Structures are given as structure tokens and as C-alpha cells.
Chain A
Amino acid sequence: MKARVTVTLKTGVLDPQGKAIEGALATLGVTGVASVRQGKVFDIELDAADPGRARAALEDAADKLLANTIIENYRVEVLE
């Protein structure tokens, strides 16, 4: 079973890396970019066959390690 966990910074948390990327895009002549917020994507393969159980395991993983919930939100998607 394949899954994806996406971790993004919470609204209001300073994202200097996103700001730097935003600046670099402007330098490259990519126009119309209002703002950039960067995050992380984890593609995970699981042995579990039950999507519910897989989701629970991934939420556990995100809470314990993949995300720091003081500053980050996460989204779990079971892909297939």
C-alpha cells in the first residue's frame, strides 16, 4: 500500500526558506508569484492491507516524528 504524508508550516510561522525561494523566482523572471511556502513530502510504502489501519499508523508516524506539530500541519493520503 502506498501513502503520502505532506507536512506544511502552520499559517503565521515564519518561513524564511519560502521567502528566499520567492525571491529567487522573481530573479529568474517567473512572474505572478504572490507568495511561496515550502514543506515536505514523504512517500511511504506500508505492509498493511487495511486503509484504516494504515492511516492510523501514518498519523502516529507524523505525530511522533515526521511533523513538529508546534509549527507544522500534516496531511495523510492513502494512495492505493
Chain B
Amino acid sequence: MKSAVIVFPGSNRERDVARALQLVSGREPALLWHADTALPAGTDLVVLPGGFSYGDYLRCGAIAAHAPIMEAVRDHVRRGGLVIGICNGFQILCETGLLPGVLLRNSGLRFICRDVHLRIERSDTPFTRGYNAGQVIRVPVAHGEGNYFAHPATIARLEAEGRVLFRYTAPDGALDPRHNVNGATNAIAGVLSEKLNVLGLMPHPENHVDPAVGSTDGRGLFAGLVAHFAAAA
């Protein structure tokens, strides 16, 4: 699996993502600068990492959405290539229009930095083939604007088309408002694009890939992608 991680001014999770990709795929990802205009030939997966691109000026992700590299990312998506936006990366994908909706300020106003439980809603996607549908994983979140919002008709469509991939739940997988940490509509933590090749999620699976930190629940995402590309080759 050949991957590329995009670095914007203010990104700060690119090394976490690069390390997770290296650890699980055995291959060093390319780190690309926002001002670059092309992805390395043969790139399978593009990751937009977390952080505070452009200092969250205007709205989270709004300026990064128009960075020069994003045209190449759009082309990659048009060709059916896979893209993951994590945290600020998710906000950027929403601002580009590659994913529907927007991430609002957390309903409780506070920045939240802690582990959460996510229910995997389906396992038949390249991003979740390393998990079982209904499985609950524990991964961290670290965000102030993660409250997923979209027009009710858009939410209905996402639900009907099975494009909600991750939800905030209790440890046993039950929906519970107390575990919907940021007040997201329908406890949505991650969504897919119409062609299921673009994923945006607020939590950080890349931080739970090493037993040294106490959990490897995030590994399945990267391992599943490696298996996906190995099967396609």
C-alpha cells in the first residue's frame, strides 16, 4: 500500500499517521506539503491528518480546503482513490465538499481530549474490513469542533445509504447521549462519500496502534486497508 500524508501549516498529527502507516503497512508514506501540486505516481491512499491547519482561521479546514495540493486530492478521489481525513482532515474534507455536512463547535463548548468508544457500523468497506460490523473500539478524540451537522435530508440520505461508518456509543455498543461526546447528529463520528472511497472521522485511530500505549484498537483500520490493497493487487 502506497500512501501519502498531506501536511498543512498547522497540521500536528502527520507524524502519528505516518508512524501508524509505517508500522502496519511496513512502508514509509510520502509526506507532501500543502503547496505541492501532485501526488506521487501510484498513490493508493491519501491521509489528511489532524491539527489546526492555518490556525483554524475563518472556519476549521476552510483555508486548507483550497490549498494547491487539494486539486490533486480531488483528482485522486475522481479516479476512485481512497482518502481518509482524520479530525482536522475531516473538517477539511467537509469544507472541500468531498464529504457532506460540517463540524460545529462541541455542544458542551469544551475541547475534548480523551478516549471514546466507537461502534463500527459496517465491515464491507476498505476502511473497516479489519473489523466486524457492530464491533466497538476504543480510540482517542482531541477536538473542539467535532459536532457533526448536516441538513436533515442529508442525514437521512447518509443513513439510508449506509454511509455512517462510525458512531459514538457506550462501551457495549449501545447508543447513549452521555457517550455522544460532542453532541453530533445521530452520534456520527465518521462518514463516507457517495462512492464510499472518502472517509472522514473525528477520532484518532492512528494513536492506538502500539501496545505500548495500552490499546491497539486503531490498528484494524490500517490493517484492513493493507489487506484491501493486497487483495486488489
Binding site for B on A (CB under 8 A): 13-14, 16-17, 19-20, 64-66, 68, 70-71
Contacts and interface: CB of A to CB of B under 8 A. Distances in A.
Q: How large is the interface on B (under 10, 10 to 19, 20 to 34, 35 or more residues)?
A: 10 to 19
Interface stretch (B29-37, B72-80, B101-109): B101-109
A71 B102 contact: yes
Given A13-B149, A14-B147, 10 more contacts: A14-B104, A16-B105, A16-B107, A16-B108, A20-B109, A65-B62, A68-B59, A70-B101, A70-B102, A70-B150
24 contacts: A13-B104, A13-B149, A14-B104, A14-B105, A14-B107, A14-B147, A14-B183, A16-B105, A16-B108, A16-B109, A17-B105, A19-B109, A20-B109, A64-B66, A65-B58, A65-B62, A65-B66, A68-B59, A70-B101, A70-B102, A70-B149, A71-B102, A71-B104, A71-B149
Contacts of A13: 104, 149
Interface of B is mostly: loop
B195 interface: no
